[in-house]
Chain A
């Protein structure tokens, strides 16, 4: 009988002694981190690069691990901070067109709506954008979204309400 999978925080605490711990974290969370990065950077290559950077940083993580939150909410914060830095850096440089999704979508109508939502994201204020990504696209609960953003549940609902008004206008156009 196989042992239960190690807790994410335990894996993070052991990345410096156990090379397989970082691989395990990478396999578990790379897609989520990629989507967090993509939502901010809107470019697949940049999102892939940023995903690598996030996990390389986890590999060098030295601080004591505190289990104050769900691992994924903490990881969202790490990714959001790095993505914001990358976004600011890109604003100073000439943007380079990156590779986009080549795969045919299973649900074309949903893919079209998603493209419209993604196109709207850069125009939204930061809080509304984060709320939309975490609550609507990632399907997190209000409490998880609030924890990741470091705000109250009520604040999440307010930001979400405003973001959805923008989405409604975007989708109705």
Chain B
């Protein structure tokens, strides 16, 4: 007899032992295999964008010198076009008239427009 005369169970057990001696012969894992940097930082860009947007929105909401439309622009107090502050419950706005006309020549000669003293 030339074949293996052992019972099948024994032959398979021996084959299993031979099988379990087989080893991985490839390379080690690359260092970048854990948490690739590009993935680690992907959350940072949208987060930074959202934070910047939040700052812009908050800045706009609490801006003390907003850009007003011309029709609503408040005039600087003390100027010839000062708007009188309405009393409580008063719905009419009283516009103070300029004390004197502003002339074009004021631009050329500011001393001509000075308020009279005393």
Contacts and interface: CB of A to CB of B under 8 A. Distances in A.
Contacts of B63: none
Categorize the interface residue count of chain A.
35 or more
A33 B4 contact: no
B45 to A, nearest CB: 19
Consensus secondary structure, chain A interface: helix
Interface string A47-80: 1110110011001100000000000000000000
A145 B21 CA distance: 20
B33 interface: yes
Consensus secondary structure, chain B interface: loop
A133 to B, nearest CB: 8
Categorize the interface residue count of chain B.
20 to 34
Interface string A14-54: 01110101110010001101110010000010011101100
A137 interface: yes
Contact of A114 (B18, B25, B34): B18
Interface in B25-84: 25-31, 33-36, 39
Contact of B26 (A49, A111, A114): A49
Given A48-B25, A49-B26, A106-B21, A114 B15 contact: yes
Contact of A138 (B20, B21, B31): B20
Nearest to A172: B3
B93 interface: no
Nearest to A112: B4
B32 to A, nearest CB: 9
Contact of B8 (A49, A137, A168): A168
Contacts of A59: 29, 33-35
Contact of B33 (A22, A47, A137, A139): A22
B22 A105 contact: no
Contacts of A168: 8
A23 B33 CA distance: 10
Interface of A: 15-17, 19, 21-23, 26, 30-31, 33-35, 38, 44, 47-49, 51-52, 55-56, 59-60, 101, 105-107, 109-114, 117, 136-139, 164, 167-168, 171-172
Given A59-B29, A110-B18, A114-B15, 15 more contacts: A16-B35, A23-B29, A26-B28, A34-B25, A38-B22, A48-B24, A49-B26, A56-B29, A56-B33, A109-B11, A111-B18, A113-B12, A136-B15, A137-B20, A167-B12
